[in-house]
Chains A and B, each alone.
Chain A
Amino acid sequence: MDRRTFVKAGCIGSASLLMQGLDPMIRAESAPTAVPPVELRGLVDYKPSPLGMPGLFPARVIEIREANAIVRNRVSQPVVGRMLERAMKELTGERSAREAWAKFIQPSDVVGIKINPSGAPACCSSPEIVREIISSVQSLGVPARNIVVYDRYSYEIDLASYQALLPAGIRIVGIQEAFASGGGYESNVYCEANFFGEWETRSYMANIVVREVNKIINVPTMKDHSASGVTGALKNLAYGTFNNVARTHRAPYSFTNPLIGMMCTVEPLRSKSVLHIMDGMRQVWHGGPLTQVQDFIDQPGILLVATDPVAMDTIELEAIEKTRRERGAPSLWQHDSKSITADNDEFHRDASKNLFYRQPGHIAAAGHLGLGIAELKQIDHRVLSV
């Protein structure tokens, strides 16, 4: 039986309404057309897991800060190791790190670690944090061959030198070589919509997510994003798992809201994504996701840990908004046409400029799709130090 997951009439309608309702600053010129019908097709007969988003601890976000975690732009693995252990115990309420990790990972699992290398080398998932995650997963009895560090573009993985920096035996996989190359995607699991009249209207889910791994540990970075407002747990999963996603932006417009959240609802991505560890060693507050301009990259030494990606991204959004206020940059919610530029160089020089009307409302929209909690007052945000 073909069990397509149609969201045309239901969720999409809701998401469209949400986008209008949750983005009070949005202006008519930022939404040239209504969100088109979107068809989501998940894996047939896939049984959802209780570990799936929002996971075991909805609304809970553990934030841990340590100034010594990053010194002169170098991440200290011993320090982040201690931070991760402390945060995992706090998230789960377990007394030992091993018990905490065992809430999510079993020895028989094939574990995917979804890194974010876009923006490498200036800001990407720190190899030091990834090494600590690998070590924790291996401590549960998962063999190296059953751990896969992956992302969409192999050349971006290469830029960060993950190959040389991660332990031997684990697999490091770039789903595709470059933007134009194909392969590595599941033809029966996709998201279909025609946003701007593009010739290819489907985005397919990566095989590695559909077929190879059964648990995903998501390791996003803390960055603003010229189209989606921020790129955090949700976007790292959605736009790092499906192909052909750049078509959702056409400057200055973007349909990242609601598409990011919608993609995260598709099975098996939703069920397999059991834990999110946000690397906030560096925080990109303008120029994301690809900037290499150090003036826009702070080094706060933060780690966020959660099972709820919506709550996590809400905290990230608040943090980046705070930094932008402090630096005199306009809010990520601002939709003033005077801020829009088509000049990429100007965007990378001037924090008051942007290429798109940003869509941070994608986080709340994902919350309304059931992926987590976006309301700040409802988030159990615990701030710790080592």
Chain B
Amino acid sequence: MMRETGNSKAVEDWPTLLKDNARSGGQKPFPAPSPEGAVWQFRAGGSVRSAPILKDGNLYVTSVAGALHAIDVVTGTAKWKFQAGSQVHSTPSLFRDQILFGCDDGKVYAVNRHDGTKLWEVPTGAEVWASPVIRNGVVFFGSADTRVYAVDAASGERRWVQELGGRIYSTIYATERQLYLGCGDGKVYCLDSASGKALWSAATGNGIDSSPAVVDDLVLIGSEDFFFYAISANAGEVRWKYETGLGIASSPAVWNDLTFFGSKDGFLYALETQTGKLRWKTRVGDVVTAPPMVGDGVVFIQAGGTFALDTSNGKILWRAGLAGAIQSVPVLAGETIYLASLSGEIYALR
């Protein structure tokens, strides 16, 4: 597995979107039983359109009110708050002592995770909704200005910039030498991580705001053309594609031989990763745009509420009526589940 997740020694750490750069979303045994109630509730003061991350007993959450909050997971109280220049839709990432996130003011901010002070910021030409991804000390992210940026994680100094053909909302998947991402021009791109040069691109039938996962030479990603694609990571050839009922903004999570993703048609899908064959699909709401998150035998998804499903057959194990955020991802830490809601509440459930 290709992972660089900062200081993720503790089991409970959850330092980036879907837990790590491999988009595994966990892969540890998590409790399947329904949580019995809220341990605490935190009000972020603005809608939360991103996913929380967790590190050393602190939950870090951004909100469209433009704030990054550090919340003590024991008490549910604020430790500090950093106010960015505009709305924030970007899920933060952790690198060493830095929290990194994009902002609608076009900047990516690096904030000290201990005290909430700004370490550096780097400008782009439009909003940054994607989550920054860190590999080998370099931060990679796309902007709605159509460009992919590589900056030094320690200083924010720009390494390179590569222009693509459309707005970028897709979070990059970074391997040792390549970057993979979707683009508003409908293409999936593979870039050289050292230079930003495009190594290949593969066209889909409409724009892409889903973020890819890469497993066994397959780039897995959904498109607004209603199809989910498996593309050769080396050559950019489409190996298989699977048609759903509407566009796919949900990013996939991969577990064992299965790939899970949601579609705007309201279903959560489980496909065999190598063949694209449908294993099961289950309706979980009217619309699914959030990424699923998969643990040991249980897949979680937020779609109007929070659902836990059996990975083997898609049967719904439980549903929590909290956290209507349809773009957020639950964070699982031991016996506790952290949820963010569209109305701006953060819940710790147990």
Residues of chain A whose beta carbon lies under 8 Å from any beta carbon of chain B: 73-74, 120-122, 127, 154-155, 158-159, 161, 163-168, 177-178, 180-181, 292, 294
Contacts and interface: CB of A to CB of B under 8 A. Distances in A.
21 contacts: A73-B226, A74-B205, A74-B206, A74-B226, A121-B247, A127-B207, A154-B64, A155-B342, A159-B264, A159-B289, A159-B326, A161-B209, A161-B249, A163-B167, A164-B166, A164-B208, A165-B206, A165-B224, A168-B184, A178-B47, A292-B266
Contacts of B225: 74
A177 B224 contact: no
Greatest chain B CB density within 10 A among A154, A163, A166 is at: A163
What 5 pairs across the A-B complex have the smallest Cβ distances?
A164-B209, A121-B264, A292-B286, A165-B207, A164-B184
A158 B224 contact: no
B145 interface: yes
B31 interface: no
Contacts of A127: 207
Nearest to B63: A177
A121 B343 contact: no
Interface residues of B, number: 35
A154 B208 CA distance: 19
Contacts of A181: 46-47
B144 A168 contact: yes
A122 B246 CA distance: 8
B287 interface: yes
Contacts of A167: 166-167
Contact of B64 (A159, A163, A177): A177
B154 interface: no
Given A165-B206, A168-B166, 6 more contacts: A121-B264, A121-B287, A155-B49, A161-B224, A177-B47, A177-B64
A199 B342 CA distance: 25
Contacts of A121: 246-247, 264, 287
B78 interface: no
B131 to A, nearest CB: 15
Contacts of B326: 159
Interface of B: 46-47, 49, 64, 126, 129, 144-146, 166-167, 169-170, 184, 205-209, 224-226, 245-247, 249, 264, 266, 286-287, 289, 326-327, 342-343
B261 to A, nearest CB: 15
Given A121-B246, A121-B247, A161-B249, A168 B126 contact: yes
Contacts of B249: 161
A166 B287 contact: no
B266 A163 contact: no
Contacts of B205: 74
A296 to B, nearest CB: 13
Contacts of A161: 207, 209, 224, 247, 249
Contact of A180 (B144, B246, B287, B343): B343
A178 B49 CA distance: 11
A23 B76 CA distance: 55
Contacts of B206: 74, 165
Contact of A168 (B167, B246, B342): B167
A163 B166 contact: no
B245 to A, nearest CB: 8
A73 B145 CA distance: 30
A156 to B, nearest CB: 11
A155 B327 CA distance: 10
Contacts of B46: 177, 181
A102 to B, nearest CB: 28
B120 to A, nearest CB: 26
Nearest to A154: B64
Given A177-B64, A292-B286, A163 B146 contact: no
A27 to B, nearest CB: 33
Contact of B167 (A120, A164, A180): A164
B287 A163 contact: no
Nearest to B129: A163
A292 B342 contact: no
A294 B286 CA distance: 11
A177 B247 CA distance: 22
B327 A158 contact: yes
Contact of A178 (B145, B146, B166, B343): B343
B316 to A, nearest CB: 18
Given A74-B226, A155-B47, A178-B47, A163 B343 contact: no
Contacts of B146: 168
B164 to A, nearest CB: 10
A77 to B, nearest CB: 9
Contacts of A164: 166-167, 169-170, 184, 207-209, 224
A41 B289 CA distance: 40
Contact of B145 (A159, A168, A292): A168
A161 B169 CA distance: 10
Nearest to B89: A158
Contacts of A180: 343
Contacts of B166: 164, 167-168
Greatest chain A CB density within 10 A among B46, B247, B343 is at: B247
B195 to A, nearest CB: 23
Contacts of A155: 47, 49, 342
Contact of B144 (A74, A120, A163, A292): A163
A119 to B, nearest CB: 10
A154 B126 CA distance: 17
Contacts of A122: 246
Nearest to A290: B286
Contacts of B247: 121, 161
A226 B147 CA distance: 43
B209 A292 contact: no
A120 B206 CA distance: 16
Nearest to B206: A165
Nearest to A294: B245
Contact of A292 (B224, B226, B287): B287
A166 B186 CA distance: 11
